[in-house]
Amino acid sequence: MRSHNSHIVAFLFCSLSLSAQDWFSDRVMGQIHSTSGTDVSAIHILNTSIKKATISDARGFFDIRASVGDTLIFSAIQFKRKEVVISEDMLESKMLLVPMEDALTELDEVVVTPYNLTGDMGRDANRLNITPVVTATSLGLPNAYVRVPTQAERMLFEATSGGGLLPLNPILNGISG
- Residues 6 or more apart from 128 whose CB is under 8 A from it? 115
Cα separation, 54 vs 43, whole angstroms: 8
Helices marked H in 26-104 — which ranges?
88-92
Q: What is the pLDDT of residue 40?
A: 86
pLDDT tens digits along 15-67? 544 444 444 458 899 999 988 877 888 999 999 999 999 999 999 999 999 99
Q: Quote the pLDDT of residue 132.
A: 76
Among residues 33, 47, 46, 171, the alpha carbon closest in space to that of 95 is found at 33
Query: What would the pLDDT profile of 41-51 be if each residue is shown by its tens digit?
Result: 899 999 999 99
Name residue 76's beta-bridge partners: 79
pLDDT number for residue 63: 93
Tell me the residue length of the chain.
177
3-state secondary structure of 101: coil
CA trace torsion 80, 83, 88, 91 (10° rounding): 60
Distance CA 57, CA 39 (A): 11
pLDDT of amino acid 8: 56
Residue 105 pLDDT exceeds 80: no
- In which band, very low, low, confident or very high, does the pLDDT at 114 lie, cut at 50, 70 and 90? low
**Tens of pLDDT, residues 125-154:** 777 777 778 888 888 888 888 888 999 998
Task: Find which of 76-90, 123-137, 157-171 is predicted with most confidence, using mean pLDDT.
Answer: 76-90
Give 100's DSSP letter: E
Answer yes or no: is pLDDT of 10 > 60: no
pLDDT (0 to 100) of residue 20? 44
| Rounded average pLDDT over 86-92 | 89
